[in-house]
Structure 1
Amino acid sequence: MSVLDLVRPDLRDFAGYSSARRAGVGGTVWLNANENPWPGPVDAGQGLNRYPQPQPAALRDALATLYGAAPEQVLVGRGSDEAIDLLVRALCRPRIDAVVIASPVFGMYAVSARLQDAPLVDVPLIDGADGFAADLDAIGAAALARGAHLVFLCSPSNPTGEAVPLQAIAALARRLDGRAVVVVDEAYGEFSDQPSAVSLLATHPNVAVLRTLSKAHALAAARIGTLIAAPELIAVLRNCQAPYPLPTPCVTLALDALAPASLVRTRERVARLVAERERLRVRLADVAGVRRVYRSQGNYLLVRFDDTDGAFARLLAAGVVVRDMRANPALHDALRISIGTPDENDAVIAALHTERAAA
């Protein structure tokens, strides 16, 4: 069974919008896209008067090399959010094909499912002595029972920080072969010691992997996300994508960030963030009122407090903004703290120690 059998039947042969840049023709006088022939006053030589390539070959090649994939397995879009939305819209018929998640987790999976009116099936993470963990047996059973076409695994998971073992992902993909696509969201993969699930694609065509330049590569504002999947699925999603998803300045920034010298610096910064993550985890565990600090393979820590209201207020009073997780019932006493610079992390500790002194 092909992964294309999981695509909505009405979209399997959908050609999408044939933009001027997808026509595949070449020339020196470009009069096929109703563009302004003169660069604008803010152009600075970037050619912003011309529409960009939908999937620039140089960027696809660079990302394929970075992630250990083939260019035809790569779709580049506006952050991981666009890829999540495309997957749900292309694979899930409204009110029929379900999406499986394991909460607490990144909220865009549920948002995209709701916008598509796809049934959402939640198999909550298990909070144990070693931290949160996904119940992959229950996830597989729920996917089969509810007719899911998509299963989202966040690894490392946001906000809980745990990674899903590669062997377990492979076992789930085998169980769901021909029934669902297992999407592994590796937005924080650079901060983890877990090998990438991209290595599973050769033997498990129903595995897809999300990556991004927003986190480790410090390009959150450029909105460059990547989906790595079977070429036939990538081709379908390209036809469902907006005509020009990648602004030329963002592509230029991404290529600069993927140059060898930039990658060396990125790896150095990742190592520093991982070291700071562990330093902050140890320091937080010694703060009065901190009930639990979860180990994390991302660039953040999930922390439970005896008095979360007070901790949150004290941090804000010190100018430190963290993510309030209390709206999630499983995290009613928790805050997620991104790892900052050493000085920023020290500010977190200082604010919370102030809370202890005032108590």
Structure 2
Amino acid sequence: MNVLDLARAEIRALIPYSSARMEADGGRVLLNANESPWSPAGDAGEGLNRYPDPQPAALVRRLAALYEVAPEQLLVGRGSDEAIDLLVRAFCRAGRDAVLVSPPTFGMYAVAAAVQDAAVVQAPLGPDFALDVDAVLAALTPAVKLVFVCTPNNPSGAAVAPDALARLASALRGRALLVVDEAYGEFADTPSAGMLIAGNDHVAVLRTLSKAYALAGARVGVLLAAAPVIALARRILAPYPLPAASIAAALAATEAAALAETRRRIGVLREQREWLRGELAALPEVVEVLPSAANFLCVRWRDAAAVYARLLRAGIVVRDVTRYPGLAGCLRISVGTPAENRAVLAALRDVEAAA
């Protein structure tokens, strides 16, 4: 079965919107988009009076090299959230199809499904928050078109073993699209699921520049998949998904020198994660610190509400994840700078943080 056979017939038949910038074809005098012919105040040569390229060729090539795929296997958009939404809308018929998730996990998969009126089938993570491939396959129904796997998982932090993903990809061939969310992949030791795309046109991978590359404010997300899936997603992509400033920021962040600094920072965060894990585990209020391959730690407390309030009084905001299945009493703490991490521990120990 061709992977597009799983997609909505009306999306496959849709004639996509052709933006003015797509039709510009290198013209010097651009009078086809009803733009202002003058740059705005403070433009500084950025050309903000012009619409940006829908899929900037230089950025697509740069990211394709970074993620080791062909340019036609990559789509850039507004964070991973947009890619999630595009896939759900492209593959799920309202009121008929479904997505499968393994809670506790990233909430946007279910939100995107609800917006599309697609059902959500659940195959919970195991007791140790590991992906249960057998449970996923047992929960699969003909209605399921997308299976979402987050690795490292948010908010629990555990990574999925490559052999588990390979087994799942093999079992889902012809049945559903496997969507592997690697928003935190740079912080883990496991190889990317992107290596599965070459032999599996039903595997898609989500990446983002928001975390390791420090561009959360630029909102640059990436969808990696077989060329037909990318072409399908482009049919329903907004005409100009990335602002010019975000494109420029992404190109700057992926220059050789910037990549070297990013790798250094990732190393610092990983070291700090392990140090912070040990320090937190020694606190009497802590029940357990869940294993994490991401840039955060999920910590179970004897009294999570009191700990949250104590940190807030110290001006420190962490994430309350107690509402997630299996995470009662848990708070998620992002790994910050060494000084920020020391401040967290100081607040928890009821001593004043050093200036």
Q: Tell me which interval the TM-score lies in, with the shorter structure as reference length.
A: over 0.9
Aligned residues: 351
Q: Which runs of 5+ in 2 are unaligned?
A: none
Q: Residue 305 of structure 1 contacts residue 333 of structure 1 at CA under 8 Å; is this kept in 2?
A: yes
Identity %, equivalent residues: 56
Q: Give the distance between the partners of 2:272 and 2:325, measured in 1 at CA.
A: 29
Pair 1:222 & 2:218 matched: yes
Q: Give the distance between the partners of 2:285 and 2:93, measured in 1 at CA.
A: 47
Q: Residue 288 of structure 1 contacts residue 353 of structure 1 at CA under 8 Å; is this kept in 2?
A: no
Distance 1:329 1:201, change over 3 A: closer
Partner in structure 2 of residue 137 of structure 1:
134
Pair 1:162 & 2:158 matched: yes
Q: Give the distance between the partners of 2:15 and 2:168, measured in 1 at CA.
A: 32
Q: Give the distance between the partners of 1:64 and 1:137, measured in 2 at CA.
A: 33
Partner in structure 1 of residue 250 of structure 2:
254
| Counterparts of residues 84-99 of structure 1 (less than 5 Å) | 84-99=84-99
Say which is worse superposed, 333-342 or 22-31, in terms of deviation. Answer: 22-31
Q: Give the distance between the partners of 2:350 and 2:341, measured in 1 at CA.
A: 14
Partner in structure 1 of residue 315 of structure 2:
319
Partner in structure 1 of residue 289 of structure 2:
293
Q: Residue 6 of structure 2 contacts residue 91 of structure 2 at CA under 8 Å; is this kept in 1?
A: yes
Pair 1:27 & 2:27 matched: yes
Partner in structure 2 of residue 118 of structure 1:
118
- Which stretches of structure 1, 4 residues or longer, exceed 6 Å deviation after superposition? none
Q: Residue 193 of structure 1 contacts residue 297 of structure 1 at CA under 8 Å; is this kept in 2?
A: yes
Q: Give the distance between the partners of 1:86 and 1:289, measured in 2 at CA.
A: 43
Question: Which amino acid is the alignment partner of residue 134 of structure 2?
Answer: D
Partner in structure 2 of residue 204 of structure 1:
200
Partner in structure 2 of residue 188 of structure 1:
184
Partner in structure 2 of residue 354 of structure 1:
350
Q: Give the distance between the partners of 1:244 and 1:180, measured in 2 at CA.
A: 29
Cα displacement string for residues 55-74 of structure 1 (whole angstroms, at most 9, x for unaligned residues):
00000000000001110000
Q: Give the distance between the partners of 1:106 and 1:336, measured in 2 at CA.
A: 13
Q: Residue 181 of structure 1 contacts residue 207 of structure 1 at CA under 8 Å; is this kept in 2?
A: yes
Report deviation, 1:26. 2.8
Q: Give the distance between the partners of 2:27 and 2:102, measured in 1 at CA.
A: 50
Cα displacement string for residues 169-211 of structure 1 (whole angstroms, at most 9, x for unaligned residues):
1111111111100000000000000100000111111110000
Q: Give the distance between the partners of 2:85 and 2:272, measured in 1 at CA.
A: 33
Q: Give the distance between the partners of 1:231 and 1:14, measured in 2 at CA.
A: 17
Report deviation, 1:146. 4.8
Specify the SS of the correspondent of 1:31. coil
Distance 1:333 1:146, change over 3 A: farther
Report deviation, 1:42. 2.2
Q: Give the distance between the partners of 1:214 and 1:133, measured in 2 at CA.
A: 25
Report deviation, 1:24. 5.4
Q: Give the distance between the partners of 1:134 and 1:348, measured in 2 at CA.
A: 30
Q: Give the distance between the partners of 1:169 and 1:267, measured in 2 at CA.
A: 25
Specify the SS of the correspondent of 2:147. strand
Say which is worse superposed, 189-198 or 6-15, in terms of deviation. Answer: 6-15
Q: Give the distance between the partners of 1:26 and 1:346, measured in 2 at CA.
A: 53
Report deviation, 1:6. 1.0
Q: Give the distance between the partners of 1:105 and 1:247, measured in 2 at CA.
A: 29
Aligned alpha-carbon RMSD (Å): 1.0
TM-score (norm 1): 0.96
Partner in structure 1 of residue 76 of structure 2:
76
| Counterparts of residues 170-185 of structure 1 (less than 5 Å) | 170-185=166-181
Q: Give the distance between the partners of 1:233 and 1:135, measured in 2 at CA.
A: 26
Q: Residue 151 of structure 2 contacts residue 182 of structure 2 at CA under 8 Å; is this kept in 1?
A: yes
Q: Residue 142 of structure 2 contacts residue 175 of structure 2 at CA under 8 Å; is this kept in 1?
A: no
Q: Give the distance between the partners of 1:133 and 1:156, measured in 2 at CA.
A: 10
Cα displacement string for residues 111-166 of structure 1 (whole angstroms, at most 9, x for unaligned residues):
000000001011111123xxx111111112212x2521000000000011111111
Q: Which runs of 5+ in 1 are unaligned?
A: none
Q: Give the distance between the partners of 1:200 and 1:254, measured in 2 at CA.
A: 25
Q: Give the distance between the partners of 1:127 and 1:346, measured in 2 at CA.
A: 31
- Select which of 238, 241, 245 maps to 2:241: 245
Q: Give the distance between the partners of 1:18 and 1:324, measured in 2 at CA.
A: 43
